[in-house]
Structure 1
Amino acid sequence: MANTAEIKCINKDDRYDPYERITHVGGYVTKQWKLTLNEAINYIETGEWSFYVSVGGKSVWVIVASRNGRKYLKTEADGDAPNNLLSLPECP
């Protein structure tokens, strides 16, 4: 069974493409953590970790999606663009 953690913040680069903007995700369980996008994708794909975000008081799962051959993270509740993740505050 996978460990579970809430993503509470992200880091973005200056690109305008929503599929390539997120560089890191982070949060805290017992201490603050921060992963690169590729590390988070790997943890989800191997089943080691499951991530979620809280949106409007509800938890939604973060999944790996692919567009134009590039993997990215989005929530199940999002359509094609990762809006729920992009709306999170910047990680320290």
Structure 2
Amino acid sequence: MAIMKRVTCITRTNLQGAHERIQALGGVNADGTRWHRSQADVASDINSGRCDYYVEQPGGHRVILVVARSSTGYVYVKTQADGELPNNLLSLPDCR
């Protein structure tokens, strides 16, 4: 079973494309240390099965991240379609 990591923040880009707005994702490990990974590394972790990532909504509802590809071939991560608005990742605070 893959390690599960909760995403609690993102690093944004200045790009306008919806799939290009996130540069990196971050969170806190079980031991309290912070982690910060590029979007490409997170996608690689998910594809290889090394690690699964999720965001947590109020009430403990977890939404899993999946790897997607834009029409131009850009690989990025997004949350599974869950009917929640706004976008689960873009609504996270900036990593500091």
- Note the 1:11-90 alignment, pairs <5 A: 11-29=11-29, 30=31, 31-57=33-59, 58-68=61-71, 69-77=73-81, 83-90=87-94
Q: Which residue of 2 aligns with 1:2?
A: 2
Q: By percentage of residues, which structure has more strand? A: 1
1:91 is aligned to 2:70: no
List alignment gaps of at least 5 residues for structure 1.
Answer: none
Q: TM-score, normalised by structure 1?
A: 0.90
**Residue identity in the other structure for 2:48:** T
Measured in 1, the distance between the counterparts of 2:88 and 2:67 equals: 14
State how many pairs are aligned. 90
Q: TM-score, normalised by structure 2?
A: 0.86
List alignment gaps of at least 5 residues for structure 2.
Answer: none
- Residues 56, 77 of structure 1: CA spacing in aligned structure 2 closer, same or farther, 3 A cutoff? farther
**Residue identity in the other structure for 2:9:** C
Give the structure with higher Rg (CA). 2
CA RMSD of aligned residues (A): 1.6
The list of structure 1 runs, each at least 4 consecutive aligned residues, that deviate by more than 2 angstroms after superposition, is: none
Measured in 1, the distance between the counterparts of 2:12 and 2:82 equals: 18
**C-alpha displacement of 1:70:** 1.1
Matched-pair contact (CA < 8 Å) for 1:78–1:84: no
Give the fraction of aligned pairs with identical amino acids, expressed as a percent: 38
1:17-73 Cα shifts (integer Å, max 9, x gaps): 110110000000121000011110100000000000012331110100111211111
**C-alpha displacement of 1:76:** 0.7
**Residue identity in the other structure for 1:11:** T
**Residue identity in the other structure for 1:32:** R
